[in-house]
Amino acid sequence: MTGEKDSIYSHEKGIPIEACIEKARQLIEQNGICLFIFDVKRSGSFSNRHALQISLESLLQGLNTEFDEFFPEHSIAVSTRTEKGFAHLLGDGSWAGINSSEVIPRIVSYSESHYPEISFHYNVAKDGYDEDGTRTLK
C-alpha cells in the first residue's frame, strides 16, 4: 500500500461498526469526544436525489431528537463553528460529535429501522482534520 496511511481500511470508504465502536471508545477516553460519521452507500443509484436529501434531513432530525444526550456542543469538526448533533449534510454524508461509543450501535439500529432503503458507510474521526476518519465524507 504505497503512499497510504497505516490503516488496514485505507482502501475502503468506511470501517466496520465494531471498529467504529473501538476507535470511538479510545478517542473519547483520550479527548472526551470524537466525530461519528456516515455517508450513503451507492448514492448515485438513487433515481430521485432530492427525495434522498429529504430523507437524510429527516434522519438527522430524528437522530438529534433520539440521542441528544450523546451529542455535546463542540468545535472539533470546524474550529470556528460550534455544532451539536448532526447539524450539516456534506453531499449525502454527515457527522456528529459524540461523548459515548455506546451510541454508535443505537444510531445504526435507528437508521436501519427508520430508513431501511438507505445503506451507510460509517467511520470515526478525532476531529475535522483527521483525514483517515473523514475520508468517508469525500
- The reported pTM is 0.90
Residues 100-128 pLDDT 10s? 999 999 999 999 999 999 999 999 999 99
Q: How far is CA 71 from the centre of its chain?
A: 12
pLDDT of 51 over the 90 cut? yes
pLDDT in tens, 8-17: 444 468 999 9
Positive/negative CA dihedral, 7, 63, 106, 80:
positive
For CA atoms 50, 52, 53, 59, the dihedral sign is: positive
For residue 59, what is the enclosing H or E element? helix 49-66
Higher pLDDT, 1 or 49: 49
Domains annotated for the chain, with CATH where assigned, are 17-137 (3.30.70.270)
Model pLDDT, residue 19: 97
pLDDT above 80 for 1:
no
Sign of CA dihedral 42, 43, 45, 51: positive
